[in-house]
Amino acid sequence: MTANPHRPIIGVFDSGVGGLTVLRAIAQLVPNADYVFFGDTARLPYGTKSQEFVARYSSLAARFLAAHGIDLLVIGCNTASALALYDIKSAVSIPVIGVIEPGADAAAAISKSREALVYATEATCTSHAYQRALARRGFATFEKACPLLVPLVEEGWTEAPVTEQVARIYTIEALRTASTNVDVLVLGCTHYPLLRPMLRRVVPQRIAIVDSAEATACALLQYLPGHDLAAGIPTYRFFVTDSVEKFQKQAPVFLGFATESVERADLDSGH
């Protein structure tokens, strides 16, 4: 479908498919927009790569999306947000939003104790990006890497007993080292929102759960003044750097609907 000039065009970038939860949250809040999603599936996961690597390919992806006329870029990837946000902002001349600051803002809005727990991938925990963001808001933060949750989500096992058992073990370990005053859990990986209903059963009720994808969607609204955002039907274009078929198979788990048209892109050549 051709983009409507009166509607914003919003780009969403991720190293793979997890950022589709961010796209879904944004489109639910802002249906009257056109969306361009880019997944660097040839190079995932970014979590095992160097900062220089992540900065290089995140910046190339940002330029690719900017060339498609987007008005706003959302980095739907915690690793890229943690390691390359400033490089990405330098690469394009449009507003850029990462997922970490909105997640920290959402935690700050509801926490009374100013003590938080963050579930994330190993790379995001190692970067301490959430810890720094929350510290700027007066928080003490306890980070817990939950590496097994991503492959379980990608398998579609969001309600499987094995996934709940894994999440329960991570939670027991996390609470063993965290302060008893923790009153908020930040989901610091874009795969984890799909586990929110299950995590609500596992995590003590006194701890509120913050979905950084949802928080990012809310943060985006301030960048779209003057637009009628509530009424309309979103349009989508999807680009990936590898495995179109695999992306089409996994996307419905994250988006809630099938992706009919997915195009292959090559960052190194710029096409």
Measure the CA–CA gap between 85 and 71, rounded to whole angstroms: 17
Amino acid identity at 105 = D
User: Structure tokens of 58?
Assistant: 């995140």
**CA 152, 157, 163, 167 torsion: positive or negative?**
positive
Alpha carbon separation from 88 to 64, 80, 91, 174 (Å, rounded): 12, 9, 5, 32
Residues with catalytic annotation? Answer: 77, 189
Alpha carbon separation from 32 to 2, 146, 163, 190 (Å, rounded): 13, 35, 35, 23
What is the distance in angstroms between the CA of the first residue and the CA of the last residue of the chain? 20
Q: Where are the beta strands (DSSP E) in the chain?
A: 9-14, 34-39, 72-75, 96-97, 115-120, 140-145, 184-187, 208-211, 235-240, 262-264
Measure the CA–CA gap between 217 and 23, rounded to whole angstroms: 8
Helix axes 244-255, 20-29, angle to 10 degrees: 50
- Contact in structure between 54 and 83 (CB atoms under 8 Å): yes
